[in-house]
Amino acid sequence: MGFLTRIRYMRYAKQYLIFALVTVLIAVGSLLTLGLNEGIDFTGGLLLDLQFEKTVSTEQVRTVIMQATGIDAQIQQVEVRNAESPEATEFLVRTPELTDEQKDSLLRNMLHLGAYQVISEDAVSGTVSSELTQKALLAIGIALVLQVIYITVRFQFRMGVTAVVALLHDVIIAAGVLSLLQVEVNSNFVAALLTVLGYSMNDTVVVMDRLRENLHNRRKGESLEEMATRSIQEVVTRSIYTGVSVILMLVAMIVLGGSTILNFALTLLVGTLAGTYSSIVVAAALWYLWERRHEGHRPGPARAKPAKA
């Protein structure tokens, strides 16, 4: 870890922001072009998890649904859970909203492929799905405003704003990576993004806390850049240790947690990584540049002493 506490972080503040901007643009680009692979929680529709006792092919399932409803359903074969027979096969079937008759016909005709069990069923109408997103966004918006107010009172207005910018960065990166990987997102995805927000805010506040402390106890002749760099050097070990603890937990969930929480844990993993580096690369760097302009500090060459090896 030694070298991490010797990097002269704030010398590269602008480069950090350029890097962050580029990654955010890539993420936004992916969100705009590929989009998120939205599950029925967001689009409305029907999601069936069917487990057949015998081996059945995706094509057979598709044909039956086509005959029963006239709909070309999206079908995905998945890992078989808790089946008694070794020949069992399991499928996720996604369709747009079905009428009761269509669904009855689908379930009845499916019996032609042999006995099966409905493992789970989700039917969501369009109105509910858009509400979920709206309500979550409203709650997040209010929470962010209150956090800025709290940080402004306890810290400084500029720290509040830059902390929130870092949060937005993390959420965009997490959503962008899921969009690139085309992982399906459902209503738990909203909860996962909230977790990312919580973690990232916590991490950023710890960095801001050190900046606040050192800002008040500046050493004689210490430039803002030196002060900010020293602050990061002092907290970077903690950021990494905490990040590693959380990542250990998440990796265990990804490897052992089964398919139900895989996407959830994956979102958290990406968000945690982004949340850890963004506290320095986005929040601290942005704050430093803003604060420097505010102080009317002359940019000039840094007067930091060369780092000791």
Partner 1 sequence: MKGGWNGLVLALILVLVGGTIGFYLSPAPDTGSARILQHMKLGLDLKGGAHIVLEGVDSELGEVTSDKIQAAKAVIENRINALGVSEPVVQVDGKDRIIVEIAGATDIDEARETIGRTAVLQFIDPEGNKVLDGTDVEKAGVAQNPSGAGFVVTLKLKGEGPQKFYEATSKFVGQPIYIFLDDDLISAPYVQEPIPGGEATITGNFTAEAASQLATLINGGALPIKLVEVEARMVSATLGADSIAKSLRAGAIGMVLVLLFMIVLYRIPGFLADVALGVYAILNMLVLFAIGNVFTLPGIAGVLLGIGMAVDGNVIIFERIKEELRKGKGLRSGIDAGFHRAYVTVLDSQVTTAIAAAILWYLGTGPVRGFAVTLFVGTVLSMFTAITFTRWLVTLTVNTGWFNKRTLFGVKEVAE
List contacts with partner 1 (CB under 8 A): 49, 81-82, 117-125, 127-128, 132, 135-136, 138-140, 142-144, 146-147, 150-151, 154-155, 187-188, 190-192, 194-195, 197-199, 201-202, 205-206, 209-210, 213, 234-235, 237-238, 241-242, 244-246, 248-253, 255-258, 260-261, 264, 268
Q: Closest separation between CB of residue 125 and partner 1, Å?
A: 4
Q: At a CB cut-off of 8 Å and minimum separation 6, what does 42 contact? A: 36, 129, 132, 133, 185, 186
Q: Closest separation between CB of residue 76 and partner 1, Å?
A: 16
Q: Which is nearer to partner 1, 30 or 45 (CB)?
A: 45
Residue 169 has a CB neighbour count (10 Å cut-off) of: 24
Query: Helix (H, G, I), strand (E, B), or coil: what is residue 199?
Result: helix
Q: Closest separation between CB of residue 93 and partner 1, Å?
A: 14
Q: Closest separation between CB of residue 142 and partner 1, Å?
A: 5
Rg (CA), the chain: 25
Q: Closest separation between CB of residue 9 and partner 1, Å?
A: 17
Q: Which is nearer to partner 1, 30 or 51 (CB)?
A: 51
Q: Closest separation between CB of residue 273 and partner 1, Å?
A: 14
Q: Closest separation between CB of residue 242 and partner 1, Å?
A: 4
Specify which residues 78 forms β-bridges with: 90
Q: Which is nearer to partner 1, 103 or 292 (CB)?
A: 103
Retrieve residue 293's tokens.
Answer: 């302009």
Q: Closest separation between CB of residue 19 and partner 1, Å?
A: 25
Q: Name the DSSP letter for residue 155.
A: T
Burial of residue 122 (number of CB atoms within 10 Å: 0-12, 13-18, 19+): middle
Torsion-angle region of 76 (φ positive above 0: left; ψ -120 to 50: alpha; else: beta): beta
- Decide if 176 contacts 30 (C-beta within 8 A): yes
Q: Which is nearer to partner 1, 46 or 177 (CB)?
A: 46
Q: Closest separation between CB of residue 80 and partner 1, Å?
A: 11
Q: Which is nearer to partner 1, 21 or 251 (CB)?
A: 251
- Biggest CA–CA distance in the chain, Å, is 83
Q: Which is nearer to partner 1, 29 or 258 (CB)?
A: 258
Q: Which is nearer to partner 1, 122 or 222 (CB)?
A: 122
Terminal Cα distance for the chain, rounded: 13
Q: Which residues of 197-224 are buried (b: 16+ CB within 10 A; e: fewer)?
A: bebbbebbbebbebbbebbeeeeeebbb
Query: Helix (H, G, I), strand (E, B), or coil: what is residue 304?
Result: coil
Q: Which is nearer to partner 1, 67 or 245 (CB)?
A: 245
Q: Which is nearer to partner 1, 154 or 297 (CB)?
A: 154
| Paired sense of beta strands 89-95 and 45-52, if any | antiparallel
Q: At a CB cut-off of 8 Å and minimum separation 6, what does 27 contact? A: 172, 173, 175, 176, 177, 179, 180
